[in-house]
Amino acid sequence: MCLSPEVDLVAGIIISAIAVDAIRHNRHNRTLPIALLPGIFALHSFASAFVWWSFQGSVPNSIGVAAANFYIFIAFVLLPIYVPVVTYLVEPHGWRRHVLQGFSVIGIIAGLDYMYYVIQGQGTVQECTAYLDFHVTGPSWIMSAFYGAATCGAMLFSGYRPLFIWGMLNCVAIVVLNERLSQALPSLWCLWAACTSIFVSWFLRDLIKQRQAGEPWPWVAHLR
């Protein structure tokens, strides 16, 4: 994912610490999935490190293949399903919840389609100068569009301001990072994973402050 195995390892350790903090500050079942997101990113970084090491001959090829498949599963199967559901769970009551249900369906369709091709062995990884290029061949452009809508678009329809703002930042960051890769520049995906993890930790702390101030959970109107 990033620069080198050493960078991925350090990123994984840092994100792991943030993941522990996020889980410690989780106070509701609805926010547990988003609290687990940094942990998923940490495992992602560690998996990338093992793929690097397999290319370098530091670990057996079988471990590298397993790590690559794990990385691809998270990136192409889990995230398009996970992100819309996470956003839906903390969404305030209103019409946007119905829109996010639609995004969740789109994400499930995309994730299952990518899973089919991954099971068929069409997930690949290529070692480049300063990044690893993970790819899944087979999905149509429609499924690719569904994938992008689920992973990038869901938060843009959130009525909860912090998630909306982060959704906008996420879209900008993804465009910039993909442009860097198109120019064969070093990947900084692990840095963005760390930034997202920090946001999640702040988000959970902010919810605690709101509760201490007497404000209800964002979705409380839906539960009444």
**Strand ranges (E), the chain:** 123-127, 132-136
**Confidence band (pLDDT; 50, 70, 90) for 224?**
very low
pLDDT in tens, 157-174: 988 888 999 999 999 998
Helix 32-56 / helix 189-212 crossing angle, nearest 10 deg? 160
Output the pLDDT for position 209. Answer: 92
**Confidence band (pLDDT; 50, 70, 90) for 130?**
confident
Q: Is the pLDDT of residue 175 over 50?
A: yes
Output the pLDDT for position 223. Answer: 41
Structure tokens at 124: 């690949």
Average pLDDT over residues 106-124: 96
Rounded CA separation 209/199 (Å): 15
- Higher-confidence position of 115 and 91: 115
Query: Residue 87 in contact with residue 103, Cβ under 8 Å?
Result: yes
Give CA separation, 15 vs 5, 40, 45, 115, 173, in Å: 15, 9, 9, 26, 18
Query: By residue range, what is the domain housing residue 145?
Result: 5-223
Number of domains forming the structure of the chain: 1
Q: Is the pLDDT of residue 63 over 70?
A: yes
